Structure 1
Amino acid sequence: MANYRAGAKLAGEYEMVYVSYAIDGENHVGVLEEGRIRPLVGISQIDSSVTSDQLAAADRSNETISMESVTLRPASPAPKRILCVGLNYKAHITETKRADSDYPVLFPKFASSLIADGAAILLPPEGKQPDWEGELAVIIGRTGRRISEEDAPSYVLGYSVANDVTIRDFQYLTHQWVQGKAWDNSTPLGPAIVTPDEVDLSTSSIRTIIDGEIVQESPLNLMIFSIPRLIAEISVFTTLQPGDVILTGTPGGVGFRREPQRFLRPGERIVVEVDGIGKLENPVREE
């Protein structure tokens, strides 16, 4: 399991960092304190049944447990919705040679796509072009429909780190992308959820690193569509619920658009970091 790290801050320096984990097949949720987990009493999973207010008010165990004694789960393990944003950084639009849009490019994933920090990204035998996309993830904390941009921040439980692993040769089979984006056990999400009051995203950057080489890096404030705008646009057509995940798009530097092209290979380790949020690290293996 990768060590939890969040930019210049280490686990335990936050007051509210949620982690989803399992012990002997039983699911739990806890908060990180001084590098250890303090379980929340009576809450087994971050999902549509638990609001951000309920998480914040939950009683905490008198005892803590070590990170090494648990199996991490995806930061939000069972979302009703995973909405992903394409082409949300100018550099990525430029490298794809696509036109700007006044409306975000949106596509879905499924909960079955999610894997945890430390779990292996399994390259399917059918796909020949597995690619990386480091992204900031937004986790919804309460139910809402037709949410205004002004009110949108109050619907956010917190932020996490994601890798929107994409099988490019399948993605471009049609003008729809789902067959390249929604493979089972392909999308790392985690290791934890950091609440909004604990981080200033306006000063944060995201980077993707493969075996020590930085392949993507960008300030988050270069996103074309802001998080409030994305929440407002998505909630027009679907009711957002606690645990839902919005992947906010990837910056330039994906493998498909490089010259020569570069794709994920078995044996590599890929890291996605977001300053103030955390580090997501996964090995790459053949399925």
Structure 2
Amino acid sequence: MRLTTIRLDGGTYAGRVTGDRVILLPFRDVGELLASGPDWQERAAGAAAPTVSLAEVEFAPLTPRPEKIICVGVNYADHIAEVGLPTPEHLTIFAKYSRSLIGPYDDILLPPQSHAVDWEVELGVVIGSPVRHADAEQALAAVAGYTVVNDVTMRDWQLRTSQFLQGKTFEASTPVGPFLVTPDEVDHARDLDMTCAVDDSVVQKSTTAAMLFPVGEIISYVSSIITLVPGDLIATGTPAGIGAARKPPVFLSAGQTLRTAIAGLGEQANRCVGSTAA
């Protein structure tokens, strides 16, 4: 099953993608659908009408208002090497807030306060059922599906202190979507090719199989700290190729388009737009 959240008639709707059509569901977004109960898949599969053309929809963030957005750092060996960090013994985790989320084709706002806006292609995991104190197998059973995330990062703000959050959650900076793809369609995203390009230049290329801490371990670890609930979003880390590690460093600028793709999950294209806001 492939789900999405679209903008329509001044609001948003969850939808099920079937061929070249989106079947509108009686929920404001995918997160609300997932929170409707353990039978959310039956609810999503049972709707028959109305429909809109997939080619003409405007995509919203897949889960616009998740209770939690958990991010994993330094989870690919090649990225760890390029930034000169030791291989972690435990997960490095931080958070975002929902105001940072944008749709997969929305503009990325380049804030005037940052001069080092960087890219990070990441596999996104969306939780489908409450999970607490889970082992890896139980953790995977709680996954609703997988999506595409770009953890756009203001590096100069991230590196101001040892805490990442301030560089990771600038408003209107993190594209999510376009689709939630259920685990059965992509084998729990165990080995999916992933790429990130700036305009037509590929800057990151890897596979989800290269993660040090796979999805089941990530969810198990986080669930030992706090209960994960339907609609929660986890970004699982990025491979090598970030702009800050290049010599000299390279960052996003106004007018460029950030293109992010994961095989089987979809792709994003986000134009970078300058801001004059104080």
CA distance in 1, matches of 2:271, 2:167: 20
Q: Are 1:150 and 2:134 an aligned pair?
A: no
Conserved? CA contact 2:17–2:54, under 8 Å: no
Percent identity between the aligned chains?
37
CA distance in 2, matches of 1:278, 1:52: 26
CA distance in 2, matches of 1:156, 1:194: 10
Q: Which residue of 2 aligns with 1:188?
A: 175
After TM superposition, the score normalised by the length of structure 1 is 0.91
Q: Which residue of 2 aligns with 1:126?
A: 113
Deviation readout 1:12-31 (Å, 9 max, x if unpaired): xxxx1001012122221111
Which runs of no fewer than 5 residues in structure 1 stay unpaired?
1-15
After TM superposition, the score normalised by the length of structure 2 is 0.94
Task: Give the Å deviation of 1:203.
Answer: 3.3
* Corresponding residue SS for 2:28: coil
* Corresponding residue SS for 2:190: helix
CA distance in 1, matches of 2:30, 2:191: 28
Q: Which residue of 1 aligns with 2:18?
A: 33
Conserved? CA contact 2:158–2:167, under 8 Å: yes
Conserved? CA contact 1:52–1:242, under 8 Å: no
Q: Which residue of 1 aligns with 2:36?
A: 50
Cα 1:202/1:145, change in 2 over 3 Å: closer
Q: What residue identity is the alignment partner of 1:62? A: A
Task: Give the Å deviation of 1:63.
Answer: 3.3
CA distance in 2, matches of 1:90, 1:246: 19
Which runs of no fewer than 5 residues in structure 2 stay unpaired?
none
User: Which residue, 225, 235, 239 being the options, matches 1:251?
Assistant: 239
CA distance in 2, matches of 1:175, 1:60: 48
Conserved? CA contact 1:51–1:141, under 8 Å: no
Cα 1:248/1:76, change in 2 over 3 Å: same
CA distance in 1, matches of 2:185, 2:56: 26
Conserved? CA contact 1:163–1:188, under 8 Å: yes
Q: Which residue of 2 aligns with 1:198?
A: 185
Conserved? CA contact 2:147–2:180, under 8 Å: yes
* Corresponding residue SS for 1:152: helix
CA distance in 1, matches of 2:57, 2:209: 35
- Consecutive aligned runs of 4 or more in structure 1 exceeding 4 Å deviation: none
CA distance in 2, matches of 1:187, 1:135: 11
* Corresponding residue SS for 1:162: strand
Task: Give the Å deviation of 1:69.
Answer: 4.5
CA root-mean-square deviation? 1.3
Q: Are 1:171 and 2:158 an aligned pair?
A: yes
